[in-house]
Structure 1
Amino acid sequence: MKHPLHMLCRPHDLLLAHALLRGLLVGLLITPSWAAVPAKPVATAVPPLAALQMSVKNWVAQSKKVTIEQVSLAPLDARVKVLACREPLVVDQPFASDETIRVRCSQPVWQQFVRVSVAVKAPVTFVSARTLPPAEPAKRWVLVASMPLQRGMMLNETHVQRAQVDTPVMPVNVLEEASEVLHAEVVRDVRPGVPLRSHDIRPAVLVKRGQMVLLSVGQAQGFQISARVEALQDGRFGEQIKLKNRDSGRELSGRVQGPNQVAGL
């Protein structure tokens, strides 16, 4: 039996062994591509300076209970270069002053100090209705009794006067002009200073049936004829009534113009 070493010493076997050894050496000298390329740094979406500024603003806004828009940062020294941090930034306030904020990074290790200011908004003042001075009540010119008015009294300008009265206590259908009470009578008693209402008065009877009244025909400034006639009806201001000329017995019509005064039609 031949020794294995003798078998390897054959020319054919020697060539095969040489080829295997050569391939092994070449494989050891070639490094795989995945092992030779260094890891590329991961690109950050936010620039380092912008990330620092945003971290400071968020921290100040949360700690001071303000909005981010109220927080302003002083520019950093142009010679200072902010490096990207692989870990979350740590923000704190190391000094008693509220204006200085510290930002630290653990990888790579660095720290920066940033000066900040917070714009304080003017507080909205809510004024309670209780603190407001009472508003002046609206007033209105109305007609009030200038003296005690008794039921059935015939009114004229001397019985009334105009006065200012608060609107909230204004009665309904109040009178405003003295002309509204001319040839009117009071239907109820009215105290002085009390506003007069339309239903407190009514047109007075100026002409009574059977009385002799003055009938006028024509214009007051021009040609006018007057005669004494008998009233056949009661009449109030502006009402049309029947009249009678006692001398001729002729019936006429006229419109009441005042106490015992009638204008011919």
Structure 2
Amino acid sequence: MNTVKTSTPMKPTMQMLCRLLDHLWVRGLCLAAAFGLGTGLAMSATANAPVSGAQALQQAVTEWVAQTQSVDPGVVDIAPLDSRLQIKSCQQALSMDLPFASKQTVRVRCAQPVWQLFVRVSVAGQAPAEPVQVADKPAEPAPQPRQVLVAAVPLQRGMQLSAKHVRLAQLDTPGLPVNVLEHVAQVMYAEVVRDVRPETPLRSQDIRPTVLVKRGQMVLLSVGQSTGFQISARVEAMQDGRYGEQITLKNRESGRLLSGMVKGPNQVQGL
């Protein structure tokens, strides 16, 4: 009886297993290489990340304070910046100085683009700056009362003033209005332009010269000195005139025109 011998196909199976192992090993190497490359790129990107304007500013201020005050940068503390500030990166070296007496405020300036910022700093172990002592100023003398003109009675608009309508009073200087009157003579031949209550200081804008000469009236013209040689004549006023104003006059007999200054009711001083 013939016996058929069968042999197990070991060789092909081993070849397939070896190829599978080779494939897995190569794939593992590729994955490892890819992982290493990705990690390296991430680290490189982190290392090369641009420094923000705020970070560059804080670093520059820290180094500047440490150098100017001869201290270690580790003891320099920068106050937090306002989060709303948009600090642009400076294209040139930052310029720093101390604009005030205290060393706790550093002024940082950039030329391109142009901006400046004040930064509060402190150095560990240093006492805060003492405020500057200002010498006491000598006390100013108390203001002295001032003698001014006030209304003695209620004054109504259009009223012609005289000495009986006003009086002198001592009032505190700080409470006085501007252009206050101080002499009774200032209200002579004057009229009120607005109502004024009693005891109210009179101002120059409260009065105006009253009309003492009216056009067409005959007035007395005086020429010369009242204490010496003087000539008087009756002439016609060619225009209205208030106290101190210069008006035109006419001699009716000769028809000649003259000029004079109003000095009182229907009284004119020749020029």
TM-score bin, normalised by smaller chain: 0.3 to 0.5
- Provide TM-score, normalisation by structure 1: 0.47
- Structure with bigger gyration radius: 1
